Chains A and B, each alone.
Chain A
Amino acid sequence: MNNLETYNKVFCDKLQITEQQLATARLKGLPTWDSVGHMTLLAALEDAFDIFIEPEDMMALNSYEEGKNILRKYDVEL
């Protein structure tokens, strides 16, 4: 699996959504992406890419698309 596939899979699994829903997925825009879902998602991203996300980035990661920008800061090629 390449990085983008892994990234997509984490979002789909943790937020229980389909690939079609990824583009519009936003924090608090989905019933499964609430505070609990957010922390679960962050932990899964950290595990999947073996990174440690800084608190400011935890708060900034508020959509599927924004998440890509943030992960690039951690040298994750997407």
Chain B
Amino acid sequence: MFFDLQIFADKAAVITDEGEQLTYRELLLESEKIAAHIPSGSFTFTLCENHLGAIAGYVAMLNNHKAQVLLDAEKDLETIRQLAAAYQPDYYWLPEHRAEEFISARLANTENEYSYKGYCLLRQKTHSTTPVHPDLLLCLTTSGSTGSPKFVRISESNLRSNTEAIAEYLSINQQERPITSLPLYYSFGMSVLNSNLLRGATILLTDKAIVQREFWDFLKKEQATSIAGVPYTYETLKAFRFFRMNLPYLQTMIQAGGKLNADIVKEYAVYAQANGKRFFVMYGQTEASPRISYLPADRAIDKYQSIGIAVPGGRMVVMNEEGEEVTLPYTDGELVYYGPNVCLGYAECREDLLKGDENHGCLHTGDLAHFDEEGFFYITGRLKRFVKVWGNRCNLDAIEQLVKTLTTDCACVGVDDLITVYVTKDHLSESIINLLSSKTGLHPQAFHVISIPSIPKMESGKIDYIRLHN
């Protein structure tokens, strides 16, 4: 059992914006029923919407150790088809309104194995004979994936240790009422759900966005106590004059999914302190299931530029180029994390789901960092070529590969929330933006195409990204 649902009995586990309610006892009963239809060793594609059916299926598989991958239910059929070809899922837990599409595409059998609250379980046409590794519990996409079929493999003990650590440092209890401001398939959204269900909190479930009035009507009606957001969420909240809203019950604000501008962090920290609330800056990666560090709320003002300290049970170190641990404060090196929540490894196909632990509790984050004399860590740059776009990780090399299907002479650089594509041909802007937006699922606003006479190269012939960047 991942969650001890029994002990919270008649407490509400989930309340939806459509007025539905599910107690912990009901969630337990329903999850047992769903799980009974899924054999051990199988692999399920869970297509997530922020709806009751998705949560019931997700909890069913988590609690009964059935491996699943969480996918965005809005993903187009072609993407799902490619993933299905690579991973040969045994089952799909998906919204009923998409079932026909999957059956017509010959991905699934016509027979509906089980259904609950607008979700149904379909079996794949051709069953895989490869069981998954017994330790494997969950797969997540490397967020904002560029259509790449790469999954992060997470074991039960990875997820459990991180869920407990988060619940501990946020002091989550039964009185907590978090509103789902993030999607469930996104590792941050998932971790909010997990850490709250673990402690018997009541999830306020909505698929509305924070820019919709319905979101705020629900938040106020049900008196949400906590809200989670990526940097873009907190920028938007500011535009909505969040600081002037009267929300006495909203006690905790948590931020992760990329670096929020330090001045904005400070504004939220000051606001929180003045109003008896807590603001937490956190840092993580899907590979850490997903949380790595947090800035304790009582240090948010004086350490507003910091990602804080390692989560309980974990350890962060800075490593120099020789692979040695840096002991001097303010010395930059790669941020390396050690902890029981470091994932087993990656997968790119079904056979990879048989693999065991390849990381042994050590994660090279690809971020450059240093720490101060008090042991608080600061991100100073990046080793790997990726940026975060509205909380979603985007690999610039993968973006470049996508653009190459349209024009081979191209190069991508980026900062958080904006990827710039350089090409040497004119009039490609629209087709490149359309392609990237449809493949990544990101708003077209994330991409900017610039035409230049030639792509700068170094003597070695490699693209000179630094010159492009400047």
Contact = CB atoms under 8 A, between A and B. Distances in A.
Given A36-B390, A36-B443, A36-B445, A28 B213 contact: no
A38 to B, nearest CB: 4
A29 to B, nearest CB: 11
Given A58-B240, A59-B240, A34 B209 contact: yes
A28 B236 contact: no
Interface string A1-24: 000000000000000100000000
Contacts, number: 45
Nearest to B181: A35
Interface residues of B, number: 18
Contacts of A35: 209-211, 232-233, 236
A67 interface: no
A25 interface: no
Contacts of A37: 443, 445
B116 interface: no
B240 A55 contact: yes
Contacts of B240: 55, 58-59
Interface in A39-78: 39-40, 42, 55, 58-60, 62
The secondary structure that dominates the A interface is: helix
A55 B241 contact: yes
Contacts of A27: 209, 211-212
B239 A40 contact: no
Instruction: Name the residue among A34, A36, A58, A60 with the largest chain B CB count within 10 angstroms.
Output: A36
A60 B213 contact: yes
Nearest to B244: A55
Contacts of A59: 211-213, 216, 240
Given A55-B240, A58-B240, A36 B232 contact: yes
9 contacts: A27-B211, A28-B212, A32-B444, A38-B211, A42-B239, A55-B241, A59-B211, A59-B213, A62-B213
Given A35-B211, A38-B209, 18 more contacts: A27-B211, A28-B208, A28-B209, A32-B444, A34-B443, A35-B210, A35-B232, A36-B443, A36-B446, A38-B211, A39-B211, A55-B240, A55-B241, A58-B239, A58-B240, A59-B216, A59-B240, A62-B212
